[in-house]
Amino acid sequence: MNGGIVWSMTVKDSIIFAGCSNNIDYRPSWIFRSTDNGNSWKSSIAGNSDVNCMAVKDNIIFAGTNYDGLYYSTNDGVNWIKNPLNEDYIGAITVIGNKILVSGNGIFSSIDNGNTWINISSLAHVRILRTDNNKVYAGSGMGGVYSSLDSGRNWTQILTINHPVEGLDFKDNYVYAGSYAGIYRSTNSGANWVFSGIGFTLIPSLIAKNNLLITGTGGFGIYRSTNYGLSYTQSNITQRSAYAFVLEEDNIFAGFSGNGVYISTNDGVTWQQTELHNVSALSLLSSGSDFFAGVAGNGIYYSSNNGLNWAYRGLTYYDVSDFLISDNIIFSATMGDGLHFSSNGGINWVRNSLPANDVFFIDKYENYLFAGTSSVGIFRSSNNGVNWQNIGLNFNDITSFAKHNNILFVFAERNSYPEFKGVKYSSNNGTTWNNSGLLNKKCLSLLSSNNYLFAGTDSSGILRSADNGNTWTQLEINNTDVNCIIDVNNYLICGTGRGVYYSNNSGTNWLYLNNGLDSQRVYSLMISGNYLYAGTEANAVWKLDVSQIIGVNQISTEIPLLYKLHQNYPNPFNPLTKINFEIPKSNSFDENVLLQVYDVSGKLVHTIINQKMVPGTYSVSFDGSSFASGVYFYSINAGNYSESRKMVLVK
pLDDT given at position 164: 95
pLDDT given at position 24: 46
Contacts of 620 (CB under 8 A, 6+ apart): 551, 552, 553, 578, 579, 580, 581, 595, 608, 609
pLDDT given at position 368: 93
Task: Examine the pLDDT at 1 and tell me if it is beyond 50.
Answer: no
pLDDT given at position 417: 67
Separation in Å, CA 285 to CA 312, 368, 524 = 15, 19, 10
| CB neighbourhood size of 221 (10 A) | 19
* Cα–Cα distance for residue pair 524/313, rounded to 1 Å: 19
* Cα–Cα distance for residue pair 467/470, rounded to 1 Å: 6
pLDDT given at position 572: 95
pLDDT given at position 124: 93
pLDDT given at position 416: 61
Range of lowest pLDDT (47-51, 124-128, 405-409, 492-496): 47-51
Mean pLDDT score, 270-289: 77
Range of lowest pLDDT (34-43, 122-131, 485-494): 34-43
Task: Examine the pLDDT at 87 and tell me if it is beyond 50.
Answer: yes
Share of the chain above pLDDT 70, in %: 92
Query: SS in 3 state form for 213-255?
Result: EEEECCCCCEEEECCCCCCCEECCCCCCCEEEEEEECCEEEEE
Amino acid letter for position 589: F
pLDDT band at 250 (very low <50, low <70, confident <90, very high): confident
pLDDT band at 536 (very low <50, low <70, confident <90, very high): confident
Amino acid letter for position 247: L
At residue 550, the 3 state secondary structure works out as helix
Model pLDDT for residues 364-422, shown as the tens digit of each residue: 988 899 999 999 999 999 999 999 999 989 889 999 999 999 999 999 998 666 667 89
pTM beyond cutoff 0.85: no
Q: Are 75 and 42 in contact (CB under 8 A)?
A: no
Task: Examine the pLDDT at 550 and tell me if it is beyond 70.
Answer: no
Amino acid letter for position 288: G
Range of lowest pLDDT (42-46, 49-53, 429-433): 42-46
Q: What is the mean pLDDT of the chain?
A: 89
pLDDT band at 545 (very low <50, low <70, confident <90, very high): confident
Range of lowest pLDDT (36-50, 359-373, 535-549): 535-549
Domains and CATH numbers, the chain: 5-273 (2.130.10.10), 552-649 (2.60.40.1930)
* Cα–Cα distance for residue pair 420/357, rounded to 1 Å: 23
Helices (H), 252-368: none
Task: Examine the pLDDT at 363 and tell me if it is beyond 80.
Answer: yes
* Cα–Cα distance for residue pair 549/551, rounded to 1 Å: 6
At residue 360, the 3 state secondary structure works out as strand
Model pLDDT for residues 230-248, shown as the tens digit of each residue: 999 999 888 889 999 999 8
pLDDT given at position 127: 95
At residue 546, the 3 state secondary structure works out as coil
Contacts of 642 (CB under 8 A, 6+ apart): 635, 636
* Cα–Cα distance for residue pair 439/437, rounded to 1 Å: 6
Range of lowest pLDDT (58-62, 525-529, 582-586): 525-529
Highest mean pLDDT among 297-306, 556-565, 635-644: 635-644
Mean pLDDT score, 136-158: 96
pLDDT band at 104 (very low <50, low <70, confident <90, very high): very high
Beta bridge partners of 263: 253, 272
* Cα–Cα distance for residue pair 5/261, rounded to 1 Å: 9
pLDDT given at position 26: 42
Task: Examine the pLDDT at 519 and tell me if it is beyond 60.
Answer: yes
pLDDT given at position 419: 62
The DSSP bridge pattern shows strands 531-536 and 522-528 to be antiparallel
Q: Are 285 and 323 in contact (CB under 8 A)?
A: yes
Task: Examine the pLDDT at 105 and tell me if it is beyond 50.
Answer: yes
Mean pLDDT score, 616-640: 89
- Is the model more confident about 60 or about 261? 60
Model pLDDT for residues 571-589, shown as the tens digit of each residue: 999 988 999 999 998 765 4
pLDDT band at 456 (very low <50, low <70, confident <90, very high): very high
Model pLDDT for residues 589-611, shown as the tens digit of each residue: 456 789 999 999 999 988 888 76
pLDDT given at position 22: 56
pLDDT band at 491 (very low <50, low <70, confident <90, very high): confident
